[in-house]
Amino acid sequence: MRLSLLLSFLLLPLAVMAAEPSAFGAGNLDSENPYGLTEAEKKILQNKQTLKQNNKKLRSQNSEINSLRERVDGLQSVLEAIAQKSQANRVALGDLNRDKESNSFMTQEKLQKLDLQVKVNSENIAQLLLAMETLSAVIDEQSNNYVTKEQYSTLVEDVNAFKVLVASELKKRTAKPKRANISNGALATQAKDNYAAKKYDAALNDYKTLISRKYKPAFSNYMAGQIYFAKRDYGKAIAHYKESASRYKEASYMPTLMLRTAYSMSKTGDKATAKKFYNAVIAKYPGTTQAQKAERYLGQL
């Protein structure tokens, strides 16, 4: 009897120690930092972590797909607008063909240009449709499969190419009419705006066109001289100033024309003639700003 009690007292601490790990959470897969796992439990924990990562990727993928679908909707709107423009061109072409015999202002060149525009629009629409089909196919594929980095890069390239195509089409639609089709008054306004914005090359082309049309040749030559003066091409500036003065000697801009002619001559090395022009400005326009500048420049020669 005493032996049995003694054995019971000796075995009791061992039994308590054997049960202790489970009491502190060993083998608990739901624990933040599980420990004491068996090989099977470690495999289960690894699978749970992999599943969690896959769910995170799936949510990210769904977000990308939704974004791409929104882009496709936007592209669809642009395509519909271009299609409507093409249809309007077709209708206009049909009307022009029916009226070309009775309309004395319609020329064969205009008909050819309009027909070419219709063909270009048709080709653009075909390309847009092809791009839309390609994008839709890629999106459908991404909906069912994981999108790799290479696939996403390809999609971005397709979208960028589509943007370039749309931008080109919009640029054609908003292009300014050719200079030959602009009236003299509109061209003169355009030349004035280009000069004010210091777009000298564009303004010079406008004024040269006006000179060729013999539209206000005195003023057009004066402005051409002003542009060459601003570009420091003094020889050409002198030529246009001379032409302007020969056509209208009483113009309001004559003091400036003579002053800048003198300055241009001094820059080309003809100081003797420059002095004559400076003296002429001083004598003919006394008290003016141009006369004051002429006196100062004359003193520097």
pLDDT at 145 over 60: no
More confident residue, 50 or 283: 283
Q: Please give the Cα distance from 225 to 237 (Å, whole number).
A: 4
∠74-78-82 over CA atoms, to 5°?
165
d(CA 246, CA 255): 14
What is the domain partition of the chain in residue ranges?
A: 43-175, 180-300
What's this model's pTM, rounded to 2 decimal places? 0.43
* Of 84 and 21, more confident: 84
Least confident of 1-10, 73-82, 95-104, 165-174: 1-10
- The CATH superfamily assigned to 180-300 is Tetratricopeptide repeat domain (1.25.40.10)
Q: Judge residue 248's burial from the number of C-beta atoms within 10 Å of its C-beta, 0-12 exposed, 13-18 middle, 19 or more buried.
A: middle
Give mean pLDDT, residues 99-115.
Answer: 67
* Lookup: tokens for 264: 């241009």
Over residues 109-126, mean pLDDT: 77
Give the pLDDT mean for 61-67: 82
Query: Cα–Cα distance between 268 and 238 in angstroms, integer?
Result: 10
pLDDT at 49 over 60: yes
| pLDDT value for 256 | 97
223-278 pLDDT per residue, tens: 999 999 999 999 999 999 999 999 999 999 999 999 999 999 999 999 999 999 99
Note the pLDDT of residue 102.
60
Burial of residue 290 (number of CB atoms within 10 Å: 0-12, 13-18, 19+): buried
Return the pLDDT at 3. 47
With both helix axes pointing from N to C terminus, report the angle between 234-247 and 217-230 in degrees, rounded to the nearest 10.
160
- Paired tokens of 269: 């090395």
Q: Give the model's pLDDT for residue 152.
A: 57
Burial (Cβ within 10 Å: 0-12, 13-18, ≥19) of residue 238: buried
**Nearest alpha-carbon partner for 207 in 185, 231, 191:** 191
pLDDT surpasses 80 at 72: no
pLDDT band of 5, cuts 50, 70, 90: very low
For residues 203 and 210, give the distance between their C-alpha atoms in angstroms, rounded to a whole number.
Answer: 11
Confidence (pLDDT) at 150: 62
Summarised one tens digit per residue, pLDDT across range 157-197 is 666 776 676 566 555 554 444 556 789 999 999 999 999 99
pLDDT at 226: 97
pLDDT value for 154: 65
- When the pLDDT of each residue in the chain is averaged and rounded to a whole number, the result is 79
How confident is the model at residue 139, as a pLDDT? 56
